[in-house]
Chains A and B, each alone.
Chain A
Amino acid sequence: MSLKGYKDLPEGGVIPERGNSVLYKTGEWRSMKPVYYPEGCVHCLLCWAFCPEPAIKVENGRMLGIDYDHCKGCGICARECPRKEKALQMVRE
């Protein structure tokens, strides 16, 4: 991605648009990542509730997997998962 020159940036580092934090890929600085095994999952969604990023993908009340663009690898989901190793496992990047 080519970065903007200084004349094209908003003054004073102001962010002039709303809801653009999704554009910031918090997954870029991850050192560990959760790996999801759907066969072990009971869809309790505790991982979704505890994840500090919007990184657990959920649809119709069912866990779908991890959004690796925004997952920062904190491991909270794997720690809180009642199925532990069977559904979520932290591995080195």
Chain B
Amino acid sequence: MALETKQVAMTGNEAVANAIKQINPDVIAAYPITPQTDIVQYYSSFVADGQVDTQMVTVESEHSAMSATIGASAAGARAMTATSSQGLALMHEMLHIASGFRLPIVMPVVNRAVSAPINIHCDHSDTMAALTTGWLQIYSENAQEAYDNVIQAMRIAEDPRVRLPVMVCYDGFITSHAVENLFLLPDETVKQFVGEYNPKHTLFDFDSPVTFGPLVLPDYFSEIKAQEADAMRAAKEVILEIAEEFAKISGRKYGYYEGYHLEDAERVIVVLSSTAGTAKEVVDELRAQGEKVGLMKPRVIRPFPAEEFVKALSGAKVVAVMDRAETFSTQGGQLFTELRAAFYEAPTKPLMRNYIFGLGGRDTTTAEIRRVFEDLKKDQERGSVDRKVTHLDVRV
């Protein structure tokens, strides 16, 4: 059967708004002013034009946006919101409540820097600060992936083995506001794919009423958190199952990561989201010159598929992990430290170094990526890295 798809030109945010439109959630609660993006602006026109059945709630802050989304989800609604940057930071307290209540909320997050200094451009400091909130995190390279990931995220979140909230992350402005060609699935196909939401407990089930959010003291708190950790572990296989199903309706394949010329690569860059697109260009160039270089673009980092990542990089000699956010641990970015830790038990380990790059929207072009590969080449020849953590492209 030929797959039915429609090619369109859209910004990342418009594509994501369309994915949400096709999901047609019961409730969207969102803060309607910056740092909100135009996802909800597009969506409010769908609501005004009667194209969706969604109840749209505009609230006075991002904290309230997440609170209202949690309330709606606990009431049994399929509930979503969207945010970015400071908005995600303001939601932080409620992020733990969404996951602690096991509510399958899907939230696109447009990755942008967190102040200060004030800056509105892309980096990953917003979502990296939310890694310990019990939300899944899926990263997208471009508008197509953001669209595809939102649709898959709904199924992953609502799977009875998971029942955890999911952030779908993509790069601010680079992906969120640039117009790209992408393929949309037919409305009916998405409707079939996401199906009906069957919540386990709801506040509106008057035959078997429940209490959400009771006090849980030291005698039970650890058990509730162990359940959450179990659900996160279970999410690993669910992510692959849903990806496989999604490939059938879209022809597009997803996994925990995308490898680009990875099989025989000796020097590998690991980087999330849009910068992977730039890196592919450089890999092509260097491959044409016979250089054994490759790229690994993690798609999922919560849960963190440590074994799979280690396996994917097991043939590499030198790896540069590029983090688009500081941790201020002085030991490197989040992706670097987690990936490096994953190699602790591995029988053979590549040399590994870290680059903190692209903060506050600093462009990372093919020139910078080329420089990283040059560093890796010197490291390989020397047999050691000359610097563990480098702030890429920073003036001295």
A12 touches B224 (CB 8 A): yes
Interface-lining segment among A3-11, A40-48, A49-57: A3-11
Interface of B is mostly: loop
Q: Which residue of A lies closest to B231 (CB)?
A: A11
Number of interface residues of B (CB under 8 A): 24
A15 to B220 CA separation, bound complex (whole angstroms): 13
Residues of A within 8 A of B208 (CB): 16-18
CB pair B220 A12 closer than 8 Å: no
Residues 162-178 of B, flagged 1 when their CB comes within 8 A of A and 0 if not, give 01000000000000000
Measured in the bound complex, the distance between the Cα atoms of B254 and A41 in whole Å is: 76
- CB-defined contacts of A7 to chain B, threshold 8 Å: 227
Given contacts A6-B223, A6-B224, contact A11 B200 (CB under 8 A): yes
> A-facing mask of B201-232, CB < 8 A → 1, else 0?
10000001111111010011011101100110
B100 at the interface (CB under 8 A from A): yes
Q: Which residues of A contact B100 (CB under 8 A)?
A: 12-13
Question: In the complex, which residues 89-113 of chain B have their Cβ closer than 8 Å to any Cβ of chain A?
Answer: 100-103
> Could you tell me if A11 and B214 are in contact, using CB atoms closer than 8 angstroms?
no
**Complex Cα gap A16–B208 (Å):** 7
Residues of A within 8 A of B227 (CB): 6-7, 9, 11-12
Given known pairs A14-B201, A16-B201, A16-B208, the reply for A9 and B224 (CB within 8 Å) is: yes
Question: When the two chains form the complex, which single residue of A9, A15, A18 contacts B223, counting CB atoms closer than 8 Å?
Answer: A9
Nearest residue (CB) in B for A6 is B223
Given known A9-B227, A11-B163, contact A18–B220 (CB-CB < 8 A): no
Give Cα A38 to B209, complex, Å.
Answer: 40
Q: Do A13 and B220 touch across chains, with their CB atoms under 8 A apart?
A: yes
Q: What is the CB-to-nearest-CB distance from A59 to chain B, in angstroms, rounded to a whole number?
A: 29
Which B residues have a C-beta under 8 Å from some C-beta of A? 100-103, 163, 200-201, 208-214, 216, 219-220, 222-224, 226-227, 230-231
- Which A residues lie at the B interface, using CB under 8 A? 3-7, 9-18
Inter-chain pairs besides A6-B226, A11-B201, A13-B224, 18 sampled, C-beta below 8 Å = A3-B219, A4-B223, A6-B222, A6-B230, A9-B220, A9-B223, A9-B224, A9-B227, A10-B201, A11-B231, A12-B101, A12-B163, A12-B224, A13-B216, A14-B102, A14-B201, A16-B208, A18-B209
